[in-house]
Amino acid sequence: MAKTKIAVLFGGKSGEHDISCISATSVIKAIDKEKYDIITIGITRQGEWLLYEGPLEALQSGEWEGLARKSLAEDPERFGITLLGTGGKSLKDICDFVFPVLHGPNGEDGTVQGLLELMDIPYAGSGVLGCAATMDKIVAKKIFEAAGLKQTPYVALDSARIGPQIEEKINAELKYPLFVKPANMGSSVGISKVHAPGELAAALKLAAEYDTRIVVEQGVNCRELETGVMGNLEPVASAVGEIIPHADFYDFDAKYKDSESRTLVPADISPEAAEEIRRSAVEAFKACACFGFSRVDFMMDKDTGDIYINEINAIPGFTNISMFPMLFMATGLTYTQIVEKIIELGYERYNAEN
């Protein structure tokens, strides 16, 4: 019986390109090679799609791109692909299913998902709506609000409004410390923790380098808690984990470079708090029209115990130290079983809609 051909997409045009390459390496290692043939497709920082058949370790080093270009030059008939079948082999000709391991804009925001819908290819994770809604932090906050989920006060703005007037509004409505974030980035890229008004202008300028939409959130003296969700119409939440950052907050370096940042799975919280987080995560997942899998992040106020939803990640990190796989491994699943379940859920959604 022929194996199902799974295309793993990695890289991408976003600022999270390198993290995607690391995540994809872990996913490829975990896929059951006896059931699936793996087709590896890298997306360059310029948006070019390249079929890659070289060593897996070259993904993390970045050498994959040069190797893929060399293969294409030497054998264009074999390595040349088109996306929509306008000449040569289309993506649909070479794979049965796509697993997008892409983080950030042009990958996690519904754009690639829309392309796959046009090509009628089943894929892992949420559809166009779920990805777009969760990628934009401002849109997600509006959905959380409508769903009655508790969140911290915030101000949303576009980069054209940056200046003294918007700073006055932020200072009037929010209490320090603040977190200033690009609305459409992940992995804490472009995020600043602002302790005083004098730091606000620089933080807004940094966020504007990554997005025209910016969200400023009131900080909480909090514990950072996360849970995973898997499923389609009847999603279930995983164990709850805690991030204990070594830095002032869980920034990019703390997530991917700082070995002193720690994760605790399961988190040392009461059963009641864990259940509230898991229930809220499933509610948020459904409200944002998510499917397949996501990671949902929360904050627990250290002083009051109040729990606030922070954000949903439609394609969470899949590195060997990422929380999403660890959270479901804590429920008894292996890494390979998690990947297998995500593929099954992708086919389930596709079959239900076609």
Last residue of a domain, one of 218, 234, 250: 218
Per-residue pLDDT at 246 exceeds 70:
no
Average pLDDT, the chain: 92
Distance CA 173, CA 78 (A): 59
Asked whether residue 170 falls in the same domain as residue 235, the answer is no
Residues of the domain holding 202: 154-218
Per-residue pLDDT at 251 exceeds 50:
no
Asked whether residue 206 falls in the same domain as residue 227, the answer is no
Higher pLDDT, 81 or 147: 147
Answer whether 262's CB lies under 8 Å from 131's CB: no
Per-residue pLDDT at 252 exceeds 60:
no
CATH number at residue 333: 3.30.470.20
Query: pLDDT by residue (tens digit) across 257-278?
Result: 445 668 999 999 999 999 999 9
Percentage of residues of the chain with pLDDT beyond 70: 93
CATH number at residue 166: 3.30.1490.20
User: 224 pairs with which residues across the strands?
Assistant: 243, 299
| Phi, psi (deg, nearest 5) at residue 216 | -115, 120
Q: Work out the number of other CB atoms within 10 angstroms of the CB of residue 201.
A: 15
Asked whether residue 37 falls in the same domain as residue 184, the answer is no
Does residue 199 form part of some domain?
yes
Q: Work out the number of other CB atoms within 10 angstroms of the CB of residue 87.
A: 8
Last residue of a domain, one of 163, 188, 218: 218
pTM score, two decimals? 0.91
Does residue 292 form part of some domain?
yes
Distance CA 192, CA 220 (A): 14
Q: What is the pLDDT of residue 89?
A: 81
Asked whether residue 139 falls in the same domain as residue 286, the answer is yes
Answer whether 49's CB lies under 8 Å from 40's CB: no
| H or E element, residue 292 | strand 292-301
Does residue 128 form part of some domain?
no
| Phi, psi (deg, nearest 5) at residue 175 | -105, 145
Question: Rg of the chain over CA atoms, in angstroms?
Answer: 20
Average pLDDT score over residue span 274-297: 98
Percentage of residues of the chain with pLDDT beyond 90: 82
Residue 16: pLDDT band by 50, 70, 90 thresholds?
confident
CA 231-232-233 angle, to 5 degrees, is: 120
Average pLDDT score over residue span 31-36: 94
Q: What is the pLDDT of residue 1?
A: 72
Question: Based on the structure, what is the number of domains in the chain?
Answer: 3
Does residue 129 form part of some domain?
no
CATH number at residue 26: 3.40.50.20
Asked whether residue 62 falls in the same domain as residue 11, the answer is yes
Q: What is the pLDDT of residue 111?
A: 95
Answer whether 124's CB lies under 8 Å from 347's CB: no
Q: What is the pLDDT of residue 250?
A: 47
Asked whether residue 68 falls in the same domain as residue 193, the answer is no
Q: What is the pLDDT of residue 354?
A: 85
Residue 133: pLDDT band by 50, 70, 90 thresholds?
very high
Per-residue pLDDT at 344 exceeds 90:
yes
Q: What is the pLDDT of residue 150?
A: 97
- Complete DSSP assignment for 81-123: EESS-SSSEEHHHH-SEEEE---STTTSSSHHHHHHHHTT--B
Query: pLDDT by residue (tens digit) across 39-98?
Result: 999 999 999 999 999 999 999 999 999 999 999 999 998 999 888 766 668 899 999 999
Give the residue from 306, 312, 330, 15 showing the smallest Cα distance to 136: 312
| Phi, psi (deg, nearest 5) at residue 75 | -145, 75
Asked whether residue 208 falls in the same domain as residue 247, the answer is no
Asked whether residue 191 falls in the same domain as residue 238, the answer is no
Residue 188: pLDDT band by 50, 70, 90 thresholds?
low
Distance CA 338, CA 329 (A): 8
Asked whether residue 271 falls in the same domain as residue 143, the answer is yes
Asked whether residue 256 falls in the same domain as residue 205, the answer is no
| Residue 71 buriedness (CB in 10 A; 0-12 / 13-18 / 19+) | middle
Instruction: Report helix, strand or coil for 243.
Output: strand
